Structure 1
Amino acid sequence: MTHSKVFKRRHALLNWKNKSIEYKPAPIFWLALGVFLTNFFGASAALAFTNAEIETFDNEPPTTRALLERAVLAERSTYNDEGEWQAANLYCEASRQGSAEGQYRLGMLYAFGRGVPQSRDLAASLFTIASGQGNVEAQKMLDTIELSTTDLPPCVLSEIAPEKASKKSVIGRKNPAIEHYINSLPKNKRWVVDLVETISDWYKVDSRLVLSIITAESNFQIQAKSNKEAQGLMQLIPATAERFNVKNAFNASQNVKGGVAYLRWLLSYFRGDVTLAVAAYNAGERAVDRSKGVPPYKETKDYVKKVMLLYQSKRHPFDAKLTDASPLVKR
């Protein structure tokens, strides 16, 4: 694609507000609910959001802030099977109000196929208009997703509900077994979960997949060491630690950064095939290529089975720009 075409497409998106957009203000009930959550519960409601989210939401008009708060709570709900779709519906409304944060968050749902059908094109369009309003996270996502269309979700242009993701696409993604496992962890290990969630978010890797691997590798033992010299939470061997610039594999933060970076690379190499990426994390990508699938080693087969039982999802978004694809997945 030429730079002029990309510029024209981005220019068209940045002028999206000139289109005729049907918009009706949110019912006063929902505004009242947002105020109720924030003011009546005070600190309790604040605990539902990160400090960065609170700061971002505080810069929004009251109606938009209420929408974003409700959307985030719905998206994170573990008791509502349609929580992510309901969040998308609310992000659509916030986007119609011109919220860059709403546009970015809706783009993330489309990028990962959460609650709505996966669409990198719609995600890129949403990231473009959000970044045009100064949303830094949206700009970061644009660095990994190529803009190829000016289309926006219909729910951003008019007051209609977004399309729901198919039931098949969400099987195994809602409430995987790993969530039940980490909820049972003792308090002295809970901080590892917070660390993993933060670092995984930086690398755009599902923290639940990372936690599933940590469970299989070390069961959250920071000083774990195998007879093959694999070390730390994610059991990095010296070669992998050096490859991803890990100086101290027994340092939890360094270890998780290195392990997640390697997992992100494997997901790119195997083009989002979780089974192959997990097998390669255990046995190495070359062993997977040679075997044309999961290597026939008992250790690796048992390892893959354990991780997949915990994570329960066979596909994961990936960044194709990180590396060329494995011969196994090239078409």
Structure 2
Amino acid sequence: MTPLVPLLLAACLALPATAHAEIYMKVEADGTVMLTDEVRGSGYQRMTPGPTAAPRAVAPSTRGQPGGAAASDWGDLPFAPLVAAAAAEHDVPEALIHAVIHAESNYDAGAVSPKGAVGLMQLMPATARELGLRDARDPAANIRAGTQYLKRLLGMFDNDIALALAAYNAGPAAVARHGRNAPPYAETRRYVPRVIEHFERLRSRRGSGVS
């Protein structure tokens, strides 16, 4: 993952996923990101959809089994029970979480990027703090926080998976600055299709009955 999320943007990410208030973003000429729930003036873009929207072209996530144990269609993959639990908690498809982990760290819980992103889902320190993550190298905590962040990004960008992944890689402010389009960064242009391709591969494997 790339840049630090500005404080105002981090405040938006802290909003409950079920919040009904609309959040609007405006990027000033100097790059400052302004967030508000009450638009005054021009240049603001809506950042949150209605609370019942479902991610576009995404299979429903696996729900928890009785007693709180999460089932998984990808039980042979590393950290599958932790991914299944996070998927059920935040209503994000397991296949998408696995695809992000695969691209970010290749399932290395101790991975640290040159830019300082840590753990399985490669969370930047500022993002981890905003999500309440104390030990980014702890697999369960990292997956849970990373999935929470991914869920927020899906909400911010109208449940568009490609845009949410672009924001995960380049930062949501970068997506906003480019008119709610994936920024033209070489890394992001490689990252988004790579994750989506792996996501679709996992989904097709599930459909074939192979676990």
What TM-score do you get using the length of structure 2 for normalisation?
0.59
Whichever residue aligns with residue 285 of structure 1, its letter is: P
Instruction: Report the equivalent of 1:196.
Output: 83
Instruction: Report the equivalent of 2:199.
Output: 311
Per-residue Cα deviation, 1:237-263 (whole angstroms, up to 9, x for no partner): 001101100000001111111101100
Task: Determine if the alignment matches structure 1 residue 296 to structure 2 residue 184.
Answer: yes
Instruction: Report the equivalent of 1:247.
Output: 134
Pairwise mapping of residues 104-253 of structure 1 onto structure 2 (< 5 A)?
145=52, 173=59, 185=77, 189=78, 192-253=79-140
Is the Cα–Cα contact under 8 Å of residues 163 and 182 in structure 2 kept in the other structure? yes
Q: d(CA) in 2 for partners of 1:260 and 1:294?
A: 20
- Cα distance change, pair 270–254 in 1 and its aligned pair in 2 (3 A): same
Per-residue Cα deviation, 1:154-186 (whole angstroms, up to 9, x for no partner): xxxxxxxxxxxxxxx97x859xxxxxxx6775x
- Cα distance change, pair 261–297 in 1 and its aligned pair in 2 (3 A): same
Instruction: Report the equivalent of 2:147.
Output: 260
Q: CA RMSD in A?
A: 2.4
Detail structure 1 runs of 4+ shifted over 2 Å in the superposition.
182-185
Task: Determine if the alignment matches structure 1 residue 285 to structure 2 residue 172.
Answer: yes
Query: Deviation of residue 305 (structure 1)?
Result: 1.2
Q: d(CA) in 2 for partners of 1:311 and 1:214?
A: 11
- Cα distance change, pair 184–205 in 1 and its aligned pair in 2 (3 A): closer
Whichever residue aligns with residue 163 of structure 2, its letter is: L
Whichever residue aligns with residue 231 of structure 1, its letter is: V
Query: Deviation of residue 145 (structure 1)?
Result: 4.8
Q: d(CA) in 1 for partners of 2:104 and 2:80?
A: 15
- SS of the residue corresponding to residue 227 of structure 1 reads coil
Query: Deviation of residue 207 (structure 1)?
Result: 1.1
Q: d(CA) in 2 for partners of 1:312 and 1:291?
A: 26
Query: Deviation of residue 312 (structure 1)?
Result: 3.2
Of structures 1 and 2, the one scoring higher in RCO (CA 8 A, sep 6+) is 2
Name the structure with the higher helix share: 1
Is the Cα–Cα contact under 8 Å of residues 59 and 93 in structure 2 kept in the other structure? no
Is the Cα–Cα contact under 8 Å of residues 173 and 312 in structure 1 kept in the other structure? no
Per-residue Cα deviation, 1:28-50 (whole angstroms, up to 9, x for no partner): xxxxxxxxxxxxxxxxxxxxxxx
What TM-score do you get using the length of structure 1 for normalisation?
0.38
Which protein is bigger by CA-based radius of gyration?
Answer: 1
Query: Deviation of residue 228 (structure 1)?
Result: 0.4
Is the Cα–Cα contact under 8 Å of residues 157 and 164 in structure 2 kept in the other structure? yes
Name the structure with the higher strand share: 2
